[in-house]
Amino acid sequence: MLANLTVEYSPGVALKRYSRQFTASAKTIAHNGHNPLHERGNLVFGSYEKNSIGWQIQQLQQRLSEWWERLTIPSGQVDVPDWSLPEWLFRSVFWSIAVVLAVWVSFRLYQLLRPYLNLDWLERPQAAAQKSSSPTNLTVAEWLHRSHTLAQQGNYREACRAIYLATLQQLHDIDLIPNQPSRTDGEYLDILQAMPDPQPYEVLMQTHEQLCFSNSDVSREAFERCQHAYQAIEPRQQE
């Protein structure tokens, strides 16, 4: 019995049996066009590969490589719209902002430094022009009469100027400050600071400065202030 078993399971018999099975499997593959064992192996190994850490690292490296290529690709190869501003527009905006800032800074500096600046060279031509445009060789009474007439006509600007010129004429008549066409209001005020109360003179001189450097209308209230200032000066000059 043992001998029979040995013969039955000898290597030759097993080889023949496996050979017959392989031949049958080959015929099945040739007939059906697929290998069931290979498919089962692919399913097992494919699932293993996609779930493994190595496969996931490989996918991550591939994605990073694609992202880097998109980031570093030359701009000429990508159809991206050009949103950059034209150079002429950029220059125009830049210089416009620069000019506005320069004007604003200059104006602020002028406001801060104006009290310390000597503006006589600006005031002198204006004052001389205003004085030359007015009638000359009028007496104090004639200037005051002219002022009254202009105020009745509503021309308070020229009425204030007539009071101012009446004051200068009166200073000349009493030999306190001789008339000089080139003398500015600032120079008059410097001399008049020695007076006991120079405030009325300051009202008239400051009003005249506004007339010289501005073309705006003068109100009735401004004319009345000039009248009151002259009335405060007149008694002193007659003494």
On the question of pLDDT at 60 being above 60, the answer is yes
Does residue 148 form part of some domain?
yes
By the 8 A CB rule, do 162 and 143 touch? yes
Mean pLDDT over each residue of the chain, to the nearest integer: 72
Considering the entire predicted model, what is its pTM?
0.45
Tell me the pLDDT band of 41, cut-offs 50, 70 and 90: very low
Query: Does residue 79 lie within any of the structural domains?
Result: no
Residues 149, 216: one domain? yes
Asked if the structure places residue 81 within a domain, the reply is no
78, part of any domain: no
Which two structure tokens, joined as six digits, stand for 122?
A: 């600006």
| One domain for residues 66 and 99 | no
pLDDT at 129 over 60: no
**Cα–Cα distance measured from residue 95 to residue 103, given in angstroms and rounded to the nearest whole number:** 12
Query: What's the confidence (pLDDT) of residue 237?
Result: 54
Residues 170 and 227 occupy one common structural domain: yes
Q: Is the pLDDT of residue 183 over 80?
A: yes
Give residues with Cβ within 8 angstroms of 211, minimum separation 6: 130, 157, 160, 161, 218
110 and 41, same structural domain? no
Q: Which domain holds residue 7?
A: 2-72
The last residue of a domain, from among 64, 96, 117: 117
Residue 149's pLDDT is 92
Determine the Cα–Cα distance for residues 111 and 230; give it in Å rounded to an integer: 31
145 and 195 co-located in one domain: yes
Tens digit of each residue's pLDDT (9 = 90 or more) over 192-215? 888 778 888 889 888 888 888 877
Is 6 found in the same domain as 67? Answer: yes
Would residue 187 count as lying in a domain? yes
In the predicted model, is pLDDT for residue 218 greater than 80?
yes
Do 113 and 130 lie in a common domain?
Answer: no
Band (pLDDT 50/70/90 cuts) for residue 145 is very high
Residue 82 located in a structural domain:
no
Domain assignment present for 196: yes
Distance, in Å, from the CA atom of 26 to the CA atom of 36, rounded to the nearest integer, reads 11
b/e per residue, 5-33, with b = 16+ CB within 10 A? eeeeeeeeeeeeeeeeeeeeeeeeeeeee
- 165 HSE (CA, 13 A, CB side): 27
* pLDDT attached to residue 195: 79
Question: Residue 19 pLDDT > 70, yes or no?
Answer: no
Same domain, 98 and 148: no
Q: Rounded to an integer, what distance in angstroms lies between the CA atom of residue 163 and that of residue 125? A: 21
Name the token pair of 163: 């009071």
Q: Indicate if 147 and 211 belong to the same structural domain.
A: yes
Tokens of 111: 């406001």
pLDDT digit string, tens, across residues 72-128: 665 555 555 555 667 777 788 888 999 999 999 998 888 777 666 655 444 544 454
Q: Which residues contact 25 (CB under 8 A, 6 or more apart)?
A: 37
State whether residue 36 is helix, strand or coil.
helix
How many structural domains is the chain composed of?
Answer: 3
Looking at residue 32, its pLDDT comes to 54
Do 48 and 140 sit in the same domain of this protein? no
More confident residue, 150 or 214: 150
Would residue 124 count as lying in a domain?
Answer: yes
The answer on 100 and 177 residing in a single domain is no
Q: Of the candidates 206, 185, 205, 201, which has an alpha carbon nearest to the alpha carbon of residue 125? A: 185
Q: Does one domain contain both 205 and 216? A: yes
Q: How many alpha carbons lie under 13 Å from residue 176 in its C-beta half-sphere?
A: 18
